[in-house]
Structure 1
C-alpha cells in the first residue's frame, strides 16, 4: 500500500504565534486520519517550505501527497504560485502522485462553519 500524506499549506508570517491555529488544525486533522501523515508547510517566512517538506516526505517513503491550501480564497498565491510549485515538484519527483485541492475558504461547508461562528458571536 502506498504511504500517503496530507500537506496543509499556509502562507507563513514573521510572528511565530501566527502559525498556532494552523498547528491546531494539523493536530485535529491528524487525529481524524491516523493512517495518513498530516504535515504543515508554508509558502514563505516560516519553515518548512513546501519543496523542503515534499523532499522529506518522499525520502520517508510517501508516494501520494495531497496539498490543501489553508487560504481563505483563491488569490494570487493559490492561483499562480502554488500551481508553479506543484509543477516543479512533479518534474522533480516523476513517480510521485501529487494532488492539490482548492483553497479551504472556497468550500461551502467551511464557509458555513465560519458563518455559524460569526452568528454565534452576537
Structure 2
C-alpha cells in the first residue's frame, strides 16, 4: 500500500488561501492520479494536521509522508510541523510519519514566481523597471536570505534597474524601503513579484504598500497552482519515500 501524501500548509483566516491550496493539490492529483493526496493546515484553517493524519491511520495505512508547503525552514518548519507529527506518533506508536524537506530553495519555485510576474506584463528587457520580490519575512535570517538569493538570480538574468527583496513583517527592507532603493537605481516603473504560495493578509499588506508608494505597479499573483510547484511537491514526496525505510510499493 502506498503511503499517502499529506500536504501541510500554514493556514489563514482568508478563505482565498485555503481555496488556493486546494487548487494546487488538484494539480498534483491530476499529475499523479495514483497517489492518495490529502490537504492539512497547521492553524486557522481546517482540516488540521492531526485530524488528517489520524484519518490516514484510520484508513489502515501504516505510514504517511508529510510535505510541508513552506518556502523556507523558518519557525513553522522547525517547530510546528515536527510538534504536530510527534503528537500523532505518540497516539499511534506503530504509525510512521515521514516529513519531507520544505519546498524551498528550488529552481521550480523561482520559475513559478518568475512566470507569474511575466504574466502581469513585466518585460525582462525593460531597464527602467524596478522589481520588488516580496515575501512574508522571518526572524530566521536564513529564510530571508533565500528570497534575497532569488532576487540576485533574477537581477543577473534581466535588464531591470534592479530586483530588491522586501518583507511584510519581521525583516527588512519593507516595501517602501525597497521601492526607494529601486528609485535610487533609476527605476521609473515598478512591479511586485510574489514569494507567496497563496493570497492572504500578508500578501494584501504588500500590495497595499506598493500601491501607496508607487504609481500603478504591476502586481504578480502568488505562485499558487503553478505546475512547477505541483511537480516540486511530488518530488519532495518521492525523495522522502525513497529515503525512508517504508518498504512500500510506491510507484515512483
Q: Same fold (TM over 0.5)?
A: yes
Q: 1:91 matched to which residue of 2? A: 90
Equivalent residue runs for 1:1-122 within 5 Å:
2-121=1-120, 122=122
Highest RCO, 1 vs 2 (Cα 8 Å, sep ≥ 6):
1
Q: In structure 1, list runs of 5 or more residues that go unmatched.
A: none
Within 2, Cα distance between the matches of 1:115 and 1:12? Answer: 24
TM-score by length of 2: 0.44
Separation (CA, whole Å) in 1 of partners of 2:27 and 2:61: 21
Question: Once the two structures are superposed, what CA deviation does each residue of 1:53-106 show, in whole Å capped at 9, x if it has no partner?
Answer: 111111112222111111222110111111122222222222223111122132
Structure-2 separation of matches of 1:3 and 1:59: 15
Please state how far the C-alpha of 1:107 moved relative to its aligned partner.
2.6
Q: 1:7-40: per-residue Cα shift (whole Å, max 9, x none)?
A: 1111111121221221111111112222221111
Q: State the TM-score, normalized to the length of structure 1.
A: 0.86
CA distance in structure 1 between the partners assigned to 2:116 and 2:13 by the alignment: 27
Distance change in 2, residues 1:45/1:111 (3 Å): same
SS at match of 1:106: coil
Larger Rg: 2
**Number of aligned positions between the proteins:** 121
RMSD of Structure 2 on Structure 1 (CA): 1.7
The 10-residue stretch of structure 1 (41-50 or 30-39) with the greater mean CA deviation from structure 2: 30-39
Structure 2: 5+ residue runs without aligned partners? 123-252
Larger relative strand fraction? 1
Measure the CA separation in 2 of the matches of 1:108 and 1:100. Answer: 21
